[in-house]
Amino acid sequence: MILTLKADQRIPLGIFDSDLTVAGNRAGLIVTTSIVLIAFLAIPIARPFLLGTVGVGAILGLALWWKHTYSSGAATAPNNKTEFDGMLRTL
């Protein structure tokens, strides 16, 4: 869907176009997991794609986590906790 200059006017791009927005919290995780599970079970041709994206995403996520955790700057930086770190820990 294309948003125009007027917020209430939208131009649909096709029959399957939607404005699905998923929150970035636990509820969004449940919704996203449910959509992927339904697609995995209902569309057999999508199974290799879904498994591949989950696998590649896991590898990239672990690589970024490893780089962030064990980078040379993280080991020498002082342990100054910010408000953002506190918010992340509460999630």
Tell how strand 2-3 and strand 10-11 pair up.
Answer: antiparallel
Helix (H, G, I), strand (E, B) or coil at 12: coil
Q: Give the C-alpha separation, 30 to 5, whole Å.
A: 33
In this predicted model, what pLDDT tens digit does every residue of 64-78 receive, in sequence order? 999 988 876 555 555
3-class DSSP state of 24:
coil
User: How many residues make up the chain in this entry?
Assistant: 91
| Residue range 9-53, pLDDT digits in tens | 666 656 666 666 777 888 888 988 898 899 889 999 989 998 899
Answering whether pTM is above 0.85, one says: no
